[in-house]
Structure 1
């Protein structure tokens, strides 16, 4: 599929996002959130300084009962704060309360991922007859853009508060030079984090290039809807509208198959807890030490975001619904959290203390012609949108 098929009408998509999510917002459901519906300007504070002296800022967004804290370093979501059914707020994302944690950890907590989300086998692909060798940072493979991906870069941040749409947010800009981490073409990227009057968190990605390249952008937030540091997410209830997934080899690279989830632990078409089948002795679960796979969404690639996932914590009542234009999602159950990292709560993160739902094109697509294409050519615009809607009951 040529990249032109991926082009969506940005303005039209933005106009239809709220309806597309089909969720119930805090502003509708939670009386404690109603006084948050006014559009509030983003605020900025210093979060730290890089070794070279570059300042790192933390921006705070608040709208519709949702609070989001974002770093200029890596576009990192440092905190996502939501009320429970009683109106009590908690940060529901894993991360750190200091910059050093983000500089040294390899977990990609909350980060913008690029140029290519997920893995590319042996860091190699061929495009228009020319081979490209990428930065290798995951065994013999390239993961999330390489050793110095978008998650480790300073982004230019432009805040906004739109009184007409009642949205508040940040435009994050970056120019990735030709050859960065081995990728061809100068890529101009704009990512928008917006909070709507309903409290939805929308991410809009756009990119253009001056040379044919591959692009697959996503966000790597780890969710714990009971609250950061409160333990594992194995009791979270998850629904994924996906009848197939992409099995992987021992290096977590897709084999090229599109396997049916029916009759396997990978079937989340009906809500079930994350932990219900995670210990089943299925070869794919053994290899990944849990879930770390791409689900093929039944909706496919769409011009507007369509709902595909619901995640709920029964204890707090917090529920997150996700809609996207993307054809896939990487569900990662935090398998490699090993107790060596400490979050803002002062508690260490252990296996399955958070989970990721990374909207994306499929891993290693440049090496699988049958997968939806991730090729971007000059004159075309890469567009992708994902919307998170929140409620509590």
Structure 2
């Protein structure tokens, strides 16, 4: 779809909604791509459209560089993507799902767009992944994206001022810093939706990747992928990743939870040992052939592990190769899905005068 046709479609969507993101033609003319490099040859590229990370190039155990995140060569690919894969984007104002697109806050019921069956997903029809952020470089290895989500945008209360900063270190780390303030109480749950394939984007499935998730429990879901409220033990289930195992080892077990998600698409309750606000290990992934290793550290209480169950091979990425079924995995550090409707889950309501601060680090290395 040409950009102009996409824009007309987007504007029609805006006009059909009572309050939605205020996207203008001029915003699309300010889209930029930023490149970060370090002393080890690692390259990270990000655009202010959706605060999307488009490229992550890292070496394997032999020093061979490959791009290990799924995405497109041109911003039009992200604008026109079918099946809403959210490749590399920051999602919000509330990442993940909210049941039936409703929540009650301080006595008022708020109604959101239903963009995932009967539920709301990743902020609504025009979430943070589909708007143009203000961008500025931070030194020579960082870029900061900022956005003001207006009161009642996509149905959420409060003017929310939000920023995300990506910093590339010489230790092959991508440091992701989120910050937000509001003038009304509002749910906030920001996360990064990068898909990884440590063999290289477009290089087949990720089922042979070896995964550890630092969690004793996970949150089971109903048939629409909304948590039931239970914090269930992983012990004795296909959801036990306390010790390294191949992603594909148990994925086809006869299990109602796996059936609901079409595989793994669930939130794990992280076994945090550090104080709130400090980084702790969430997950570790090793790709045996290349030796590439990804460690995910975060201040968040949960991580959504999703293994590309909705990829169908109909999307072609930067290499021109199709993104196969289960051709990428996502580790979304987060608060739990549907938290505004689940009083026993960690709080996601940001109040005026408070600040939302969250940090996640992706650390890349090799296993010799």
TM-score for the superposition, normalised by structure 1: 0.85
Whether contact under 8 Å (2:202, 2:324) holds in the other structure is no
CA contact (8 A) 2:172 2:365 kept: no
The 3-state SS of whatever aligns with 2:315 is strand
Q: Is the 8 A contact 1:64 1:199 kept in 2?
A: no
SS for the counterpart of 2:154 is helix
Quick check: 1:98 aligned with 2:74? yes
Alignment of 1:1-393 (within 5 A): 51=7, 52=25, 54-55=28-29, 56-65=31-40, 66-105=42-81, 106-161=84-139, 168-299=141-272, 302-392=276-366, 393=368
Q: Does structure 1 conserve the Cα–Cα contact (< 8 Å) formed by 2:282 and 2:303?
A: no
Q: Distance in 2 between matches of 1:86 and 1:245?
A: 37
CA contact (8 A) 2:211 2:247 kept: yes
Secondary structure in structure 2 of the residue aligned to 1:342: coil
Distance 1:212 1:357 in 2: 28
Distance, in Å, in 2 between the alignment partners of 1:160 and 1:187 is 22
Which 5+ residue runs of structure 2 have no aligned equivalent?
A: 8-24
- 1:180 and 1:64 mapped to 2: Cα distance? 41
**Aligned mates of 2:35, 2:101 — CA distance in 1:** 36
d(CA) in 2 for partners of 1:121, 1:374: 15
Q: Which runs of 4+ in 1 moved over 6 A?
A: none
The CA RMSD measured in Å over matched residues stands at 1.3
- Mapped to 1, the partners of 2:159 and 2:113 lie a distance apart of 17
> 101-110 or 207-216, which moves further after superposition?
101-110
The answer to whether the 8 Å contact 2:204/2:327 transfers is yes
Q: Distance in 2 between matches of 1:302 and 1:357?
A: 20
Aligned residues: 341
Change (3 A) 1:269 1:188: same
Q: Aligned with 2:253: secondary structure?
A: coil
- Identify which of structures 1 and 2 has the higher relative contact order when contacts are C-alpha pairs closer than 8 Å and 6+ apart: 1
Q: Deviations over 1:2-56 (max 9, x none)?
A: xxxxxxxxxxxxxxxxxxxxxxxxxxxxxxxxxxxxxxxxxxxxxx998436222
1:355-382 CA-to-partner distances (Å, cap 9, x unmatched) read 0000000000000000000000000000
CA drift of 1:347 comes to 1.0
CA contact (8 A) 2:205 2:328 kept: yes
Separation in 2, partners of 1:186, 1:64: 40
Query: Runs of 5+ in structure 1 lacking a partner?
Result: 1-47, 163-167
What do the CA deviations read for 1:180-218 (whole angstroms, capped 9, x no partner)? Answer: 000000000011100112121000000000000000000
The alignment partner of 1:338 has SS state of coil
SS in structure 1 opposite 2:198? Answer: coil
State the match for 2:12 in structure 1. Answer: none
Please state how far the C-alpha of 1:100 moved relative to its aligned partner: 2.2
CA offsets per residue over residues 122-143 of structure 1, 9 Å max, x none?
Answer: 1100011110001221011100
CA distance in 2, matches of 1:260, 1:283: 15
Alpha-carbon distance change, 296 to 64 in structure 1, aligned in 2, over 3 angstroms: farther
The answer on whether the counterparts of 2:144 and 2:166 sit within 8 Å (CA) in structure 1 is yes
Query: How does the TM-score come out when normalised to structure 2?
Result: 0.91
Contact residue 69 and residue 201 of structure 2 kept, 8 A = yes
Secondary structure in 2 matching 1:286: helix
Q: How far 1:99 moved relative to its partner?
A: 2.0
Structure 1 stretch displaced more, 194-203 or 263-272? 194-203
How far apart, CA to CA, are the structure 2 residues paired with 1:264 and 1:353? 23
